[in-house]
Chain A
């Protein structure tokens, strides 16, 4: 495998398409403003020249890009004017992410991303092979596995440990439907629509539109509501289809010491999470799924890089019955306490939660009601939901310590349960405001690494004594002192 290889020619095409995508805006700009009278010739020359340039650089940079496996390193050489070489030792490779885009699929190719331990801060992966044959991807992968195994053999001086592979979870079609229809994706689609229309705000002839809108409303409230409803329905259907395409064939496997996720209908993605790099496990239940007794499980991982946040918070179980989480994951993540004994908040914390819930809403609602009578009174309706929301936050909050694990549960918008191993916690902070002190309450916050930044959990208004216990549990020197 040591002779230098080029990527499949389709890689040149993919790169060209990507460059063209970036050129679309300037070209459109030219088309709108630059094409008048005689100048139209220059316009064609400019656009044509640009296209030829893109074509040439695309082909040339494809020609210059070679990769090979040599002396236990993946060696990549590329660069049009400045020749660049990047040699990545296989020992340092953390994960190989394999994706199949539509173009790659048509030719039986895959895209391979190579990520190393640190993950450079400027680029989202150490190296990307845009289009290679599946067979070659498999060879590189096998080579990586053999390098890692031989290293292990050196360490333990015994035979190669056979690679164990077991499927942890597979998303069924019914669950896929449920997942897609209860995701928050609707909001994203709607806001994308809104953003899209605001792009053209300048062009819209407002007066005409207003007249039409007037006419439109005159047609009756029912008609308007139906149109709005249909709009939302359409947005929802689009988001459902999007989610289904994205999460179709979702499978979670454990291979040797890694968790491997494969998913996707059109674009097939594969992600690898080394077990060693797991920082915390997060169970999220959103409002739509909670009544159905379902939740999602994420892994906070130290992988990924600054620009590739997807590598840091990985969805491992997209939709699962809550009581099945422990059963599904326990065999693979042995020591994690999936069934901890939760301690709740003391009743005297409730009032603080309620006050926090309305401290912004009430003054705003009163001001609005005062100045915009009578419609402003509607804003008073927001007070009750925010009270209920705060009560829910109070009810859901809790904590547990099980051997080496700290488990925090809190609700922001979704209900989160975070399982953190003591060794992985980067810092632990206890807070106590003046009013908390009076009520003998305190707040706890634990931070774990997630990608290149922090994540973790914060529970407010716990029993003062409990926070002290957690602090004591986390302190490594407290025991010697006493």
Chain B
């Protein structure tokens, strides 16, 4: 087997993912709170209300603690002379090879949350697909962008 890719993404990514997990679970609390209020007002069976609360708690835990951790642990990438390799996935492990000669262009992208933590996302486009490396340190992302464009420049013009 091709040796596993080695480079990890920034561990600040974990913080960013947790924060967005908190935001998402806040929404679920608002919706869930509404439903529970409805339940109390209209005398729904107790088990429905209890199940609802338990579900929301589990969901919040998964999305703020469990998934970000696992996702970060699994995310690896490596930029080699002739190809880029990505490895990721929480439930399904995915490994992708992108030949350097097929890379068309590289973009970096940054939302407000990522900017605050000085991270950015690198998007690698081929003629048919787009691949994303999330949450790299900004200078690392810039360096990556530059080295990929340098390596990809030798690529054949023809698709």
Residues of A within 8 A of B (CB): 276-277, 279, 302, 423-434, 437, 447-450, 453-456, 468, 471-472, 474-478, 480-481
Residues of B within 8 A of A450 (CB): 128
One of A426, A448, A472 near B98 (C-beta < 8 A): A426
6 nearest A-B residue pairs (beta carbon) = A454-B128, A476-B82, A426-B126, A449-B128, A477-B80, A449-B127
The docked-state distance in angstroms from the alpha carbon of A437 to that of B95 is 14
Residues of A within 8 A of B127 (CB): 302, 426, 449
One of A429, A433, A447, A481 near B95 (C-beta < 8 A): A429
Chain A proximity of B114: nearest CB distance (Å): 24
Using known A-B contacts A302-B159, A477-B80, determine if residue A471 contacts B126 with beta carbons closer than 8 Å: no
Please tell me if the beta carbons of B159 and A428 are within 8 angstroms of each other in the complex.
no
Residues of B within 8 A of A424 (CB): 159
The A-B contact count (CB < 8 A) is 91
One of A432, A433, A437, A475 near B97 (C-beta < 8 A): A475
B129 within 8 A of A: yes
**Which B residues from 89 to 138 make CB contacts under 8 A with A?**
89, 91-102, 126-129, 131
The docked-state distance in angstroms from the alpha carbon of A453 to that of B3 is 30
The docked-state distance in angstroms from the alpha carbon of A474 to that of B82 is 11
- 17 A-B pairs besides A427-B96, A429-B96, A468-B1 with CB distance below 8 A are A277-B159, A427-B97, A427-B98, A427-B131, A430-B96, A431-B89, A432-B92, A432-B93, A434-B91, A447-B126, A449-B159, A454-B128, A454-B129, A455-B128, A477-B83, A478-B3, A481-B3
Chain A proximity of B104: nearest CB distance (Å): 9
Please tell me if the beta carbons of B2 and A471 are within 8 angstroms of each other in the complex.
yes
Please tell me if the beta carbons of B1 and A472 are within 8 angstroms of each other in the complex.
yes
B143 within 8 A of A: no
Residues of A within 8 A of B102 (CB): 425-427
**Which B residues from 43 to 90 make CB contacts under 8 A with A?**
80-83, 85, 89
Interface size class of B (residues with CB under 8 A): 20 to 34
Q: Can you offer 10 A-B residue contacts whose CB atoms are under 8 A?
A: A277-B159, A426-B98, A426-B126, A427-B102, A427-B126, A433-B93, A475-B97, A476-B82, A476-B83, A477-B83
Using known A-B contacts A431-B89, A471-B2, determine if residue A476 contacts B99 with beta carbons closer than 8 Å: yes
Residues of B within 8 A of A481 (CB): 2-3
Please tell me if the beta carbons of B94 and A429 are within 8 angstroms of each other in the complex.
yes
Please tell me if the beta carbons of A426 and B129 are within 8 angstroms of each other in the complex.
yes
Residues of A within 8 A of B81 (CB): 476-477, 480
Chain A proximity of B63: nearest CB distance (Å): 19
Closest to A456 in B: B128
The docked-state distance in angstroms from the alpha carbon of A453 to that of B94 is 21
Residues of B within 8 A of A478 (CB): 2-3
The docked-state distance in angstroms from the alpha carbon of A29 to that of B61 is 57
> Which one of B89, B93, B128, B159 has the greatest number of beta carbons of chain A within 10 Å?
B128
The docked-state distance in angstroms from the alpha carbon of A449 to that of B85 is 19
Residues of B within 8 A of A276 (CB): 158
Using known A-B contacts A474-B97, A477-B81, determine if residue A431 contacts B92 with beta carbons closer than 8 Å: yes
Residues of A within 8 A of B2 (CB): 468, 471-472, 475, 478, 481
Chain B proximity of A423: nearest CB distance (Å): 8
Residues of B within 8 A of A302 (CB): 127, 159
Closest to A451 in B: B128
One of A427, A434, A472, A477 near B129 (C-beta < 8 A): A427
Please tell me if the beta carbons of B99 and A430 are within 8 angstroms of each other in the complex.
no
Residues of B within 8 A of A448 (CB): 128
The docked-state distance in angstroms from the alpha carbon of A456 to that of B128 is 10
Residues of B within 8 A of A277 (CB): 159
